[in-house]
Structure 1
Amino acid sequence: MALRPVQVNIKALDDSAVGRFWAEALGWGVSSEGPGVTNVEPGGGFVWPDPVAVCVDVVAVPEPKTATKNRVHLDLATTSAAHQAELAARLQALGATPARVGQGDVPWTVLADPEGNEFCVLEPRDIYRDTGPIARVVVDCTDPRAMARF
C-alpha cells in the first residue's frame, strides 16, 4: 500500500504569524488546536485528511531557525510564467525573502518565509497541474533511494 502525506509541520517562533503567512500564500484559512499550533488548511467543507490536500501545521519552537537549509520544504505550483512571477512577487509582499541554498541557475524561485523556512515557487510543470497550490513536499537527504525504500 502506498503512503500519501497529508500534513507537513513547519517550526516557527511565532506560529500564529507564520501560519497567517502560509494561509495567505496558499489561499487557505487558519485554525488552532491550542497554544503553539496553527493549522493551515483549505476551506469550503474540508475534512481532514483530505485526499488531495497536504495541510500545514505551524508549530511553535523555542529556538529560531539555524542558518542551515531545512531538510524538508514545500514546492508551490504555478500555471504559467506570468503566474510564477506574480506569485513570487505576492509572497515577497507578504514577507517572504529571496533565499540562496546553493541552487545555482534554476527555472524556479527560491524564497524563505518570514522566519527563514525555505520553499520554492516552481515554473509551470504539467505534472503538477492538478496538485493545488502545494506541488510537492521535498525531503533533502544523502541517499534518496534508501529514504524512498524506507
Structure 2
Amino acid sequence: MACRISELVIDCREPERLAAFWCDVLGYQVLGREEDDVEIGPEAGWGGLQPTIVFSRTDQPKTEKLRLHFDVNATDRDQDEELKRLLDLGARPADVGQTGEESWHVLADPEGNEFCLLRRRLTP
C-alpha cells in the first residue's frame, strides 16, 4: 500500500489573507479554522483526490526561495488570460533566476511564496 498527500501545510504570517488568495486562485473554499490555522480545499472537502491546504501562522519571516512550490494550470482560459487574473488577485512576478525563455511564469503570492503558472490548460 502507498501513501497519498492529503494536506499541504504552509507556514505564513497571515493565514486568513493567504487562504482567501489561494481560494480565489484554485476555486477552493475554507473548510475549517483551528486556533490560528485556516484549511482550504475543494468543495467536496477532505479526503478527495486533491489535497487540502492548511495555512499555519508563524512569526518567522520568509527569507529565501522555497524548496517546494506549487505549479498551477488554467482550466478555462489561456495562459495569458490566467496570468492577468492571478496578477489582479494579488500575485506578482518573481525572479528565481529564470532566463525569460521559459514557457511558464514564476509568480509570488501575497507573502512572497513562489509558484509557477504553466502553459498547458487542464480540464477541470
Root mean square deviation, CA, Å: 1.8
**What is the deviation of 1:79?**
4.8
Rounded to whole Å, the distance in 1 between the matches of 2:75 and 2:17 is: 27
Runs of 4 or more consecutive aligned structure 1 residues displaced over 6 Å after TM superposition = none
Structure 2 counterpart SS, 1:72? coil
Rounded to whole Å, the distance in 2 between the matches of 1:78 and 1:90 is: 10
Task: Pick from 93, 118, 124 the counterpart of residue 122 of structure 1.
Answer: 118
Q: 1:38-95: per-residue Cα shift (whole Å, max 9, x none)?
A: 111111xx14211x212211111112211x1101111102358x52112211111111
Q: What is the TM-score normalised by the length of structure 2?
A: 0.88
Structure 2: unaligned runs, 5 residues or longer: none
Structure 2 counterpart SS, 1:22? helix
Q: What is the TM-score normalised by the length of structure 1?
A: 0.74
Structure 2 counterpart SS, 1:18? helix
Pair 1:87-2:82 in alignment: yes
Structure 2 counterpart SS, 1:63? coil
Q: 2:15 — aligned with what?
A: 15
Pair 1:103-2:98 in alignment: yes
Structure 1 residues 47 and 115 mapped into 2: Cα distance closer, same or farther (>3 Å)?
closer
Structure 1: unaligned runs, 5 residues or longer: 133-150
Identity value in percent: 37
1:1-150 mapped onto 2 (5 Å cutoff): 1-43=1-43, 46-50=44-48, 52-66=49-63, 68-79=64-75, 83-104=78-99, 105-124=101-120, 129=122
Opposite residue 81 of structure 2, the aligned amino acid is: E
Q: Which has the higher helix share?
A: 1
Rounded to whole Å, the distance in 1 between the matches of 2:8 and 2:68 is: 9
